[in-house]
Amino acid sequence: MGETVSQEASSASKAVADIEALWSSYKKEQDIEQRNALIEHYLPLVRLVAGRLAIGLPSHVDRDDLLSSGFFGLLDAIERYDPTRRNKFETYAGVRIRGAMLDYLRAKDWMPVTMRQRIRKYSDVSAQLASELGREATDEEIRERMGIGEKEYRVMLRELGAATLIPLDDYLAGGGEKAAEDGGPSAQLEATEIKETLAAAIDRLPEKERIVVSLYYYDELTLKEISKILHLTEARISQLHSKAVFRLRGSLARMKANLL
């Protein structure tokens, strides 16, 4: 057993050394074959980012086009990355890959106006009820306030994923801290308040939504992995994620309104 662990550790160390050597060589020689080897090594990162970004995208969004745009983001990251700075490439590339995919989606303008209107109404009603009740509203309370039937409400819940295209990664995954570092004392104070507000809001989420947020943002699991853990369909996990993001965004909006 000990020998097997030792062999695995040795293999992992060799792999790290190999990729570092490849980076060093490519940056000096700019050889196409070396670049292709880097692309092949990091290509799974594009699929990972696409899988996480597509958590609630409607079916008419072409996944292959999303992957293609992410591929160009990876190419850009490889060209711009400076190995001597010692920052992790996966983190650097992940931002550029995701940015390229978001640029593609924005250019497509794929969300119909009627969908935007329903999503905005859901968001407004959810925030109003939370303020009135002093707690997060249930689906039934939201549906009744919106004055729609159960079938229409279920359809709307499926659409909510489209509005969480840019979810809470910047705050929950540490991006807010980076912004605070660049923005001086006032930005640092706001970032701290945001993190505290989010932490409190997450604690108030219904149990399943709280678990989904934790597994998705902190443990970085995929939709499929979370669905297996909770024994629910991927569609249901997507709904839980979307509703949680709306609740958390509402908490942030109320915090900012109180600061004005």
Where does a domain end: 90, 108, 126?
A: 108
One-character DSSP codes across 42-107: HHHHHHHHHHHHTTS--TTS-HHHHHHHHHHHHHHHHHH--GGG---HHHHHHHHHHHHHHHHHHH
- Residues 120 and 17 both lie in one domain: no
Tokens of 258: 């109180």
- Residues 125 and 62 both lie in one domain: no
Phi-psi sector, 164: left (phi>0), alpha (psi -120 to 50), beta: alpha
Rounded alpha-carbon distances, angstroms, from residue 47 to 11, 206, 229: 24, 30, 21
Tokens of 249: 């965004």
Q: What is the pLDDT of residue 204?
A: 85
Taking alpha carbons only, the member of 77, 13, 17, 12 closest to residue 43 is 77
Residue 124: which domain range?
113-259
- Residues 70 and 192 both lie in one domain: no
Mean pLDDT, to the nearest integer, of 227-252?
84
Number of structural domains found in the chain: 2
- Residues 243 and 119 both lie in one domain: yes
- Residues 156 and 88 both lie in one domain: no
Where does a domain end: 108, 140, 169?
A: 108
pLDDT in tens, 178-237: 444 444 555 566 566 667 777 888 888 889 999 998 888 778 787 788 999 999 988 888
- Residues 130 and 182 both lie in one domain: yes
Contact 216, 229 (CB under 8 A): no
- Residues 84 and 155 both lie in one domain: no
pTM for the whole structure: 0.58
Mean pLDDT, to the nearest integer, of 58-66?
74
- Residues 154 and 50 both lie in one domain: no
